[in-house]
Structure 1
Amino acid sequence: MENETALASTPGRETALACVRAGIDAARPDRVVADSIRLDGDRLHVADATYDLSDVDRIVAVGGGKAADGVADALEGVLGDRLDAGAVVTPDPTEHEDHRIERWRGHHPVPSQAGVDGTDRIRELVADADDRTLVLAIITGGGSALLPAPAEGIPLSDLQETTDALLDAGAEIGALNAVRKHLSTLKGGGLAELAAPAAVVGLVFSDVVGNDLSVIASGPTAPDESTYADALDALDRYGVDPPVTVGNRLSAGAAGDLSETPRADDPVFDRVSNHVLADSFTAIDAAREVADDRGYDTCILSSSIRGEAREAALTHVAVAEEVEATGNPLDAPAVVLSGGEATVTVRGDGVGGPNAEFALAAAVELPPGTTLACVDTDGKDGSSDFAGAIVDADTVDDVREAREALGNSDAYGYLGNRGAVLSTGATGTNVNDLRALVVE
């Protein structure tokens, strides 16, 4: 972490930062791929599965997301010249003339023309696949925005406007993706449909609570049970008035005039298998090892925390208070860990994000002797350029000002002035939020 030394001013802060650093490192693509993928002659081992390559003429790797660049690097190292071609779309692609997997730049969280161009290249590569092709689909968090592929009749600008409006309304990921799937040709099983009859192996880094394959990157290689009607309902629920082209397409689909995304019984999935190689628990488990090694009692509160960040923060404060008051659910000194995906309903024009809001809302009420570090493992929290924040009972010196900052969605404005902002830069991975609560 870029500013860890400056932030590690107490034993509690030092431990909290060590926990989140270990969690991020454990989810980095090079480590994950090394632990889960290997080539042994004509046998490719992925997690607990083995794939016979003796009948495979061509191996193509395609996909996208925030971890896609690192996964592509690691795959090139594992497969060498067995890998024939590929392309991934990622926010910060590396450039090297020896890459077998092309790197294309895209943007997140709002899709861009650059992302459309990269996705078009992926579609070209996959469209040529036949039954003797193995498609390795790199599916990582952030892929929904980075792999846009707007459906026919939907201008990119209208897709951008719709995405922006849903994000500002605090839409949860399932609702957001129900809309995006029905405005795209690649999401909601579209990549699997395009690749058929090739064998498709999904290499998944999950940034979704519960690891729902249909939600991670909007499920390019997974069946989709959402409908056009669900997409319309999501827009209505979050008060989003969509552009005319979007409303017309979703209404036509709900009326039965357009085909739905492929369901689980669709033959396009007959040769598709998906493997979740890393998720929120990957990071949490590594953080737990660090806390254990330092002599703390540890507890994983949940890897599935979701909902409004400021509300979830109060639950963590309550746990810290209980540890101190009664020794439940464990005795101090203790470290309580959690992951998941909190959301924020934007209420003002400040600079914030779920982890900053979580940290600031907690800091208002944290008991003495307690430290909380909150990060997004991809290194970019909400609308900011920061990963998150670290706070304790001394962070908030003006409760009224802190509450005003929360009301203006300006958690980073407040925390930045108090040296509580945590900066990592782009981490090259994405397995959602990670929090370490240290009770000394």
Structure 2
Amino acid sequence: MTTLPPTSPFPAAVAARLLDHGHAELRDAALRIAGAGLAACEPGAATELLVTLDGDALVVDGRALELAPDARVVVLGAGKATLPIAAALQRLLGERLAGGVVVVRAGEAEPLDPIEVLEADHPLPSERSLAAGRRLLEVAGTLRSQDVALCCFTGGSSALASVPPLGVSFAEKRELHRLLLRSGAPIEQVNAVRKHVSLLKGGRIAAATPARIVNLTVSDVAGNPLDAITDPTVPDLSSVGEAIAALEHHGLWDAVPASVREHLLEGDAASPPLDAERIQTVMLADGHTACRAMAVEAQALGLAPQIVSTTLTGESREAGHLLAGLAAHSLAHGTPWQAGAALVGCGGETTVTLAPQAALSTGGPNQEAALAAALVLAGKPAAALFLDTDGIDGGTPLAGGLVDGTTAARAAERGVSLPAALRDHRATVALEAVDDALLTGPTATNVNDLFVFVLGTEE
């Protein structure tokens, strides 16, 4: 049985189970390729390469910010990939760091004195998220124009730090989040709504302070739109009208609390103007970073790498079905790719549309994409891997799924209906039943979801 390198993000026991199938060589390659992509997106290492303290100057990506003797440098942030960025800044700046606040998922906090590390909840905000958001605003409000705020807002910050605007209760804002999560709306539309029903998002943390702002972030959105990635600290490019249109398009306008509708129609919902000159943003890693690393690893394994897409979106099961269909066609006809190819890519991300009262945590977009691919690849020499890079797919303990041409047969032998699992959005149970569940635990990064297909030889 093939074992993974010591640097693999997949626990050894999980990897061993995942390789205990008929296409072990193909599955091993898929795991190695995905692991290389994930490792390349470690944001702490990227921070240490791009940030230095040179005398009285803070140098970030080649741009120097002169620091007056009394200037304070603080760290502000929230998100799934925030902690390693903050930890790197703590190491780099030492005594020059005056403090700050970062918010991470429950169970992931580590001491980073003098930075306060707060825990909150995801994917739905909680009272801890409310307290954390208020603390971020409080610290931002203490800064002066000569100070520097090093901001590390990454994917997941909308739930981890959440403060409703005047006239909207926290319970009503939480209900808005719940409805948006189930809607199947693309992330850009979800963010357009959340930015205009918030005291944090849409550049409002930047508006709360005159300090110079340096954003250090990673992207989990196709195209790297900054106002959807680090939106509390950059100018908002969306409008209130777009937020309303998104709710109407997805049938949510009448479902959201009345206070939300009133705020969008009559309240102070427009995002504040910001002076872009005092804001610098550095992208530490994104889906392209992962795809380049995956292609290099595939080539090292003797495969022919093909970067298929870096903007994969749409309904998850349809995306999995489409990619698997292209792989199956290639196996049968030698085009557009031949046997021995490794198809890699990322998305921005795919979505799962749930009924209004459907339960969360029974599946996720990458798990559904994997199950859909398994049905198409049945009986074929191929492996397909779909991975949420933060290690938590759809709020479940799984990161995704790794399937192959034997998955459908193994499911039938064990009395598992893959079509029913897709229909009922219960992908987690199905993947665990056939030993095709991907588990990483928290990865400390959060770029675009990744996919890998490895094509064998058609028998």
User: What CA deviation, in whole Å up to 9, does each residue of 1:303-322 have, x standing for no partner?
Assistant: 11011111111221132124
Match of 1:94 among 109, 120, 132: 109
* Secondary structure at 1:396 match in 2: helix
Change (3 A) 1:337 1:55: farther
Residue 376 (str. 1) matches residue 384 (str. 2): no
Residue 161 (str. 1) matches residue 175 (str. 2): yes
Separation (CA, whole Å) in 1 of partners of 2:388 and 2:256: 29
Separation (CA, whole Å) in 1 of partners of 2:269 and 2:175: 24
Quick one: which amino acid aligns to residue 270 of structure 2?
A: E
Q: TM-score, normalised by structure 2?
A: 0.89
Change (3 A) 1:288 1:55: farther
Match of 1:142 among 135, 156, 180: 156
Match of 1:337 in 2: 344
Match of 2:374 in 1: 363
Quick one: which amino acid aligns to residue 433 of structure 2?
A: N
Residue 429 (str. 1) matches residue 445 (str. 2): yes
Separation (CA, whole Å) in 2 of partners of 1:309 and 1:56: 51
Match of 1:4 among 4, 15, 22: 15
Deviation (angstroms), 1:357: 0.3
Match of 2:432 in 1: 416
Match of 1:34 in 2: 48
Residue 354 (str. 1) matches residue 365 (str. 2): yes
Separation (CA, whole Å) in 2 of partners of 1:163 and 1:94: 24
Query: 1:379-398 to 2 correspondence within 5 Å?
Result: 379-397=391-409
Contact kept? 1:179, 1:231, Cα under 8 Å: yes
Deviation (angstroms), 1:181: 0.9
Separation (CA, whole Å) in 2 of partners of 1:269 and 1:151: 24
Contact kept? 2:196, 2:269, Cα under 8 Å: no
Separation (CA, whole Å) in 2 of partners of 1:243 and 1:39: 48
Match of 2:216 in 1: 203
Separation (CA, whole Å) in 1 of partners of 2:63 and 2:31: 35
Residue 222 (str. 1) matches residue 238 (str. 2): no
Number of residue equivalences: 430
Deviation (angstroms), 1:31: 2.1
Query: 1:74-85 to 2 correspondence within 5 Å?
Result: 74-85=88-99
Separation (CA, whole Å) in 2 of partners of 1:47 and 1:291: 30
Residue 252 (str. 1) matches residue 266 (str. 2): yes
% same residue? 36
Deviation (angstroms), 1:259: 5.6
Structure 2, unaligned stretches of length 5 or more? 1-9
Deviation (angstroms), 1:331: 3.1
Residue 292 (str. 1) matches residue 303 (str. 2): no
Which range moved further: 366-375 or 319-328?
319-328
Quick one: which amino acid aligns to residue 261 of structure 1?
A: S
Separation (CA, whole Å) in 2 of partners of 1:51 and 1:295: 46
User: What CA deviation, in whole Å up to 9, does each residue of 1:195-252 have, x standing for no partner?
Assistant: 22x11011111111110001115x1112113222222222221122111211211121
Change (3 A) 1:76 1:346: same
Separation (CA, whole Å) in 2 of partners of 1:193 and 1:386: 37
Change (3 A) 1:145 1:267: closer
Change (3 A) 1:298 1:252: same
Deviation (angstroms), 1:391: 0.1
Query: 1:41-80 to 2 correspondence within 5 Å?
Result: 41-54=55-68, 57-80=71-94
Match of 1:177 in 2: 191
* Secondary structure at 1:307 match in 2: coil
Match of 1:275 in 2: 282
Contact kept? 2:165, 2:199, Cα under 8 Å: yes
Separation (CA, whole Å) in 1 of partners of 2:437 and 2:317: 17
Deviation (angstroms), 1:56: 6.7
Q: TM-score, normalised by structure 1?
A: 0.93
* Secondary structure at 1:210 match in 2: coil
Deviation (angstroms), 1:326: 4.0
Contact kept? 1:355, 1:381, Cα under 8 Å: yes
